[in-house]
Amino acid sequence: MYSDIKVLIVTEEAPIATDLQDRLSHQFSQITHIFASEVRREISRIQPDIVLLHEGADGIGMQLIPYISREVTHVEIIYLTESKDSIRIRDASRAGAFDVLFFPDEINAIVDVLSRAVKALKAVSARNRDIAEFTWGRGQVIAFYSGKGGAGKSLIASTLAQSLQLESSCSVLLVDLNLQYGGIETYLQLESNRNLYDLTPVLRELNDNHIRSVTVVEPYSQVEVLTSPADLEIAEQITEEHVERLLRAARLYYDYILVDLPSKMTDLTYTTLEEADKIYYLLTPDALSLRILNRVLGAFNMIGIDPTDRLQLLLNRVNRDSEIGAREIRQRFAFEIAGEFRDDLKKIDQAVNRGKPLRTVRNERNISPFAKDVQKFARMMLGKTKSIAAAKS
C-alpha cells in the first residue's frame, strides 16, 4: 500500500473513474477524481504524484499533459486512450507522459504501470535528496594566514566575519587558533571561558549543539566566535584531531568558517591549511613581506601543502606611500590578489581604544575606509557564493 502517493484520475466519465478507483483502492489510499474541465482550477491545490489522464471521446486531454507537468513539480502522467493510433502514443510520450495505455483493452496492466511510476517517483526524490545533501554540508573553510606577524590576519578575519554576517543571512563561525593572545577578543571585545578543548569528550560525534556550547555570539553582528583558551596549559593540549573534527563538523552547519591562524607553522596551522577550501594570505605592500611569502611558499612545498587554486593574496595596509604596488606583486607571484584594504591606523586604533568593534550594524553609514573595503570584499564573496547556489538549483 502506497499511502503517501496521491493519485488523480481525470476523466469525463464517472463510471470509468469508479472502475479505476476500484482497481487501485487496494494499492493506493489517496485517490481523487476530477473532470478535465476542472484541471486548471484544481491541479495546483491537489498536487498529485500520479495522474491517470483519460483522453475522452473528443480527443481532448493531450494538451493537458504539458500543462500538468508545468504546474506540478514531480508528477508522472499515465495517458489512457481509446484510439489505437500509434501517432497518438508517440505524441503523448513526446508531451511527457510516463506511459500510454489502450483503454479498455490494456486496463489490466494499470496496476503494473502504476508500480513502475511509483518507482520512478522515488528515484527522482532520492536524486533530489542527494543534491540537497551535497549542498548541505558544503560550508567553506577559509584560513587566514601570513608568515609575517602583524599583517592583519586577526583584524581582517574578525571584521570580515562581522561583515559577512551583517550583509547576509549566512551563518558564520569565526575560529581563533592563535592559542595565545589570540587578538580576535581584542577586536571584537569578547570574553569566553569555553574553548575547543572543552569539546574533547564529544569530539567523535560533534554536532551543532556541541559547537554552539563553546562559542560566544558577538552581540552586534551575531557572528559565532570560538575563542582560543586563555590558559596556555590547556592550549597545548589541543590537537590536530580537535581542529580537523571541528572544521569537518562545522562545514555541515555554517556557510563560512573563518579561521584566524598564527604565523607559526604548528601542527594545528598545518591541519587547518590542509583542510581549508581557501587560504587568504595576508600581505603588506613592502619588500620584507614579499620575501617572507617566498619563504612560506618554499616551506609549503616542503611539508606538502598545495596552494594551487586555493591560495589568494589579500593586500593589507595599502596607502599612497606603499613601497610596493599590486602590479609588482602580480609580476612576481602567480596568485590572484583577491582584495585590497586601505591603511587606516587612526580609525582602527580609535575603535580598539574605545572597545567597540569596527562594524556594529547592518547598512552602517560613515564606516571607516578599512571597514568599507572589508564590506566590499564580503559582498564580493557573497555574490560568488550566490551564483554557485543558483547554478546548482
Ligand X SMILES: Nc1ncnc2c1ncn2[C@@H]1O[C@H](COP(=O)(O)OP(=O)(O)O)[C@@H](O)[C@H]1O
> What's the closest the beta carbon of residue 124 comes to ligand X, in angstroms?
49
- On whether the CB atoms of residues 335 and 314 are closer than 8 A, the answer is no
220 contacts: CB under 8 Å, gap ≥ 6? 162, 357, 359, 360, 361
> What's the closest the beta carbon of residue 183 comes to Mg ion, in angstroms?
4
> What's the closest the beta carbon of residue 167 comes to Mg ion, in angstroms?
23
Evaluate the omega torsion of the peptide bond into residue 104 and state whether it is cis, within 30 degrees of 0. Answer: yes
| Binding piece for ligand X, criterion CB under 6 A, among 58-66, 84-92, 292-300, 342-350 | 342-350
- The conformation of residue 30, written as its DSSP 8-state character, comes to E
367 contacts: CB under 8 Å, gap ≥ 6? 358, 359, 375
Of these partners, Mg ion, ligand X, none, which one is at the site of residue 316 (CB under 5 to 8 Å by kind)? ligand X
Out of 341, 358, 359, 381, name the contact with ligand X by CB under 6 A. 341
> What's the closest the beta carbon of residue 217 comes to ligand X, in angstroms?
21
Report the distance separating Cα 228 and Cα 181, nearest Å. Answer: 8
Closest CA to 269 of 175, 159, 195, 151: 175
Q: What are phi and psi of 90, to 5 degrees?
A: -60, -45
**Count of residues binding ligand X (CB under 6 A)?**
18
Site for Mg ion in 175-234 (CB under 5 A): 183
Out of 317, 357, 375, 381, name the contact with ligand X by CB under 6 A. 317
Of these partners, ligand X, Mg ion, none, which one is at the site of residue 151 (CB under 5 to 8 Å by kind)? ligand X
Considering the rule CB under 6 A, would residue 221 count as an interface residue with ligand X? no
- Our CB check for Mg ion shows the closer of 66 and 150 to be 150
- Our CB check for ligand X shows the closer of 24 and 374 to be 374
> What's the closest the beta carbon of residue 373 comes to ligand X, in angstroms?
8
Of these partners, Mg ion, ligand X, none, which one is at the site of residue 348 (CB under 5 to 8 Å by kind)? ligand X
Out of 5, 16, 97, 151, name the contact with ligand X by CB under 6 A. 151
> What's the closest the beta carbon of residue 178 comes to Mg ion, in angstroms?
6
Closest CA to 78 of 42, 59, 103, 58: 103
- On whether the CB atoms of residues 216 and 224 are closer than 8 A, the answer is yes
Report the distance separating Cα 305 and Cα 303, nearest Å. Answer: 6
Out of 345, 380, 388, 389, name the contact with ligand X by CB under 6 A. 345
Of these partners, ligand X, Mg ion, none, which one is at the site of residue 103 (CB under 5 to 8 Å by kind)? none
Site for ligand X in 152-181 (CB under 6 A): 152-155
Cα-based distances in Å from 227 to 9, 322, 371: 61, 33, 22
Report the distance separating Cα 264 and Cα 24, nearest Å. Answer: 70
In the numeric block, the cell 558544503 is attached to: 138
> What's the closest the beta carbon of residue 296 comes to ligand X, in angstroms?
13
| Binding piece for Mg ion, criterion CB under 5 A, among 83-91, 100-108, 154-162, 193-201 | 154-162
Cα-based distances in Å from 331 to 312, 317, 325: 15, 20, 10
338 contacts: CB under 8 Å, gap ≥ 6? 280, 312, 313, 314, 377
Report the distance separating Cα 62 and Cα 96, nearest Å. Answer: 10
Report the distance separating Cα 332 and Cα 292, nearest Å. Answer: 13
**Count of residues binding Mg ion (CB under 5 A)?**
3
- On whether the CB atoms of residues 115 and 28 are closer than 8 A, the answer is no
Site for ligand X in 248-267 (CB under 6 A): none
Question: Which residue sits closest to Mg ion, CB atoms considered?
Answer: 154
- Our CB check for ligand X shows the closer of 136 and 181 to be 181
Of these partners, ligand X, Mg ion, none, which one is at the site of residue 388 (CB under 5 to 8 Å by kind)? none
| Binding piece for Mg ion, criterion CB under 5 A, among 46-54, 63-71, 146-154, 269-277 | 146-154
Using CB under 5 A as the criterion, which residues of the chain lie in contact with Mg ion when the complex forms?
153-154, 183
Using CB under 6 A as the criterion, which residues of the chain lie in contact with ligand X when the complex forms?
146, 149-155, 183, 282, 316-317, 341, 343-345, 348, 370
